[in-house]
Structure 1
Amino acid sequence: MKKKNYTTNRTTKVSSPAKPKIYTVKESTQLLPFLLDTLSQLSRNSVKSILARGQVTVNSQPTTAYNYELEPGYLVSIHQEKVTSAPPLIGMTILFEDEDIVVIQKEHGLLSVSAGQENEITAYRQLMSHVRTENPNQRIFIVHRLDRDTSGVMLFAKSEKVQQILQNSWQDIVKERSYVALVDGEVKKQEGTITSWLKESSTLKMYSSPYPNDGQHAVTHYKKMESNKFFSLLEVHLETGRKNQIRVHMQDIGHPVAGDKKYGSKSKEIGRLGLHARILAFEHPTTGAMMRFETDIPKVFLKPFRAGSSK
């Protein structure tokens, strides 16, 4: 598949600073060796000076670390002047960024997008500020959401065109969407599938309708990873992506997500909602390249299974 050639800056205004040179990493390496190889026309000291002066960014993040670990697909930009650091990101980390998309890992407690309060910190608002440090006209577009108290991988678009491609072809583009859920009680079955029709009540709470074809069809698959008499850790795959789908379906089988008071959980041990969007794999909307992002299971999810732990 033909990959897009990222060799020009997104900024096109005549008054903007000189465009950085952008290079795509082809294989795993460290930053200094990559720069020495890429800028082979320069002396080693000159390359080290460029790095030390803060003229290098990796996936749009400034760095001066010689041993910064690079992976295939990372974008290394070399600027004419020192890069002004973007405001620090709160409750989120950028995993990948190019001209079309931004992939982040969101922490629990951070809203994906505003729920009406103008000054509330959200992933969306922070990313908007982040991209506008390079181009004042750049925008961010919502592709999907995670609940405030759900952590994990999220994907955003950097144009309305890319947003529409992703949303209109979501079922085909997304190849894997996997969660881990810590739920109350011991799930007996090693694996299972939950199917129902989801509706929203007048109080904005989702529930499974007792009637077929009454609402949005929702299918959730799960496999048990660990369990004891107090908790079970499940790997959960979504066949459909409905609002609060996992939370409703876990309640339906009598094992609500840990800490999910709204859907029947009585546990408070981990101090948060026991739901994490662990893996997101998809075809890049413009290059067609396969992208896969896997994050660690939150350590607090494993705490109930450690030796000596008790409810």
Structure 2
Amino acid sequence: MAAPGRMLPSPTKEGPLLLWLLDVLKPMNRTRVKQLLKFGGVSINGQSVTRHDHPVKPGDKVIVLRGSPPPEETILERAGINIVHQDDALIIIDKPAGLLTVATDSEKHVTAFAILSAQLEAIDAGRPYVVHRLDRDTSGLLVFARSPEAQETLQDNWEEVTKTYLAITEGTPNPAEGLIDTHLAETRDLRMRISPQSEGTKRAITAYKVISTYEKYALLEVELRTGRKHQIRVHLASRGHPVIGDQVYGAKTNPANRLGLHAWKLGFDHPVTGEWLETEVPLPHVLKRIV
């Protein structure tokens, strides 16, 4: 049985599929035509075809399948990734909790970098360049550059970026607003701990403010003044109020089945134009329902 879709006129001469589609599907642009091919949106004589150089010839029955998903649905949305901002210099995504930023020894393929790379490759739009990272279990804003030059500019100025998180803690910090200024060191088990200043430690500064409370939890707005590994998690745990779901640093509850930490806002000078760019993504529903 033929797949439902739009039947195209039969080719008048033999030639490569992509070139023929570009002509017969005008004014559809080249990018969209390649998307159709890449993601199984074209059928020839009842068989899905994805190769650009597949030969078509007179008498072939070519169908553009209805409901063929564009790559952003196939690659990004299935991974739970939304693009928040995109231009020629950078891409900012909303990363879901549970997804690595980049590959590790145990996970090479299911990462934000790999998924975004596949998306850009599918539409011949270059590749992403890593600017910074989010912990696997932290959701929210993650910035990728689109050139080595933009990557270098963003990384060189990353300390100047305003980085604001939302955190849900066990209990309510007292005072309700404050600044935590310590030094952190990494232990052999790759955890971070507060440590006296020494050659092997790094200064970490976190500002926090309680926004609301609900029963045994509190919602905090947290600003990173420095960007150390696990900084927010260690600092809040040191005050006796670990982030929910953070068993590594002492949390006893996990009401959302994930870490209660979300990269909420970013603000920085655009690496090319120099204009101030600010982005924001709301707290995921699974966390919002708690507070």
Q: TM-score, structure 1 length as denominator?
A: 0.68
2: distance between equivalents of 1:96 and 1:135? 19
Q: Secondary structure at the match of 2:290?
A: helix
- The one-letter amino acid paired with 1:266 is K
Q: Secondary structure at the match of 2:234?
A: helix
**Partner residue, 1:115:** 104
The CA RMSD measured in Å over matched residues stands at 2.8
2: distance between equivalents of 1:56 and 1:231? 52
2: distance between equivalents of 1:121 and 1:250? 30
Matches within 5 A, 1:5-20: none
Residue from 283, 286, 289 that aligns with 1:297: 283
How far the C-alpha of 1:119 sits from its partner, in A, is 4.5
2:172–2:210: 8 Å Cα contact kept in structure 1? no
Q: Which runs of 4+ in 1 moved over 3 A?
A: 53-58, 117-120, 210-214
Listed one character per residue, the Cα deviations across residues 262-306 of structure 1 (whole Å, up to 9, x for unaligned) are: 01000121211000000011111001122111111223333334x
**Partner residue, 1:99:** 88
Listed one character per residue, the Cα deviations across residues 97-125 of structure 1 (whole Å, up to 9, x for unaligned) are: 22211110001011111112355311100
1:183–1:274: 8 Å Cα contact kept in structure 2? yes
**Partner residue, 1:162:** 150
Residues 133, 84 of structure 1: CA spacing in aligned structure 2 closer, same or farther, 3 A cutoff? farther
1: distance between equivalents of 2:193 and 2:235? 9
1:186–1:228: 8 Å Cα contact kept in structure 2? no
1:259–1:265: 8 Å Cα contact kept in structure 2? yes
1: distance between equivalents of 2:198 and 2:212? 33
**Partner residue, 2:53:** none
Residues 84, 295 of structure 1: CA spacing in aligned structure 2 closer, same or farther, 3 A cutoff? closer
2:31–2:123: 8 Å Cα contact kept in structure 1? no
- The one-letter amino acid paired with 2:102 is V
1: distance between equivalents of 2:181 and 2:170? 20
How far the C-alpha of 1:257 sits from its partner, in A, is 0.5
Matches within 5 A, 1:1-311: 55=29, 85-86=70-71, 87-89=74-76, 90-117=79-106, 119-135=108-124, 138-172=126-160, 174=161, 176-211=162-197, 215-305=201-291
- The one-letter amino acid paired with 2:136 is R
2: distance between equivalents of 1:213 and 1:228? 41
How far the C-alpha of 1:88 sits from its partner, in A, is 2.4
How far the C-alpha of 1:170 sits from its partner, in A, is 1.4
- The one-letter amino acid paired with 2:148 is E
Listed one character per residue, the Cα deviations across residues 46-79 of structure 1 (whole Å, up to 9, x for unaligned) are: xxx98xx765999xx99xxxxxxxxxxxxxxxxx
Q: Secondary structure at the match of 1:125?
A: helix
Q: TM-score, structure 2 length as denominator?
A: 0.73
How far the C-alpha of 1:230 sits from its partner, in A, is 1.0
- The one-letter amino acid paired with 1:179 is Y
Which runs of no fewer than 5 residues in structure 2 stay unpaired?
1-17, 20-24, 37-63
2: distance between equivalents of 1:242 and 1:291? 23
2: distance between equivalents of 1:105 and 1:200? 28
1:197–1:214: 8 Å Cα contact kept in structure 2? no
Residues 233, 287 of structure 1: CA spacing in aligned structure 2 closer, same or farther, 3 A cutoff? same
- The one-letter amino acid paired with 2:116 is L
Q: Secondary structure at the match of 1:304?
A: coil
Residues 119, 217 of structure 1: CA spacing in aligned structure 2 closer, same or farther, 3 A cutoff? closer
The count of corresponding residues between Structure 1 and Structure 2 is 233
2:179–2:208: 8 Å Cα contact kept in structure 1? yes
Residues 56, 84 of structure 1: CA spacing in aligned structure 2 closer, same or farther, 3 A cutoff? farther
What percentage of residue pairs aligned between the two structures are identical? 38
- The one-letter amino acid paired with 2:141 is V
1: distance between equivalents of 2:221 and 2:31? 35
- The one-letter amino acid paired with 1:165 is T
Which runs of no fewer than 5 residues in structure 1 stay unpaired?
1-15, 18-48, 63-81, 306-311
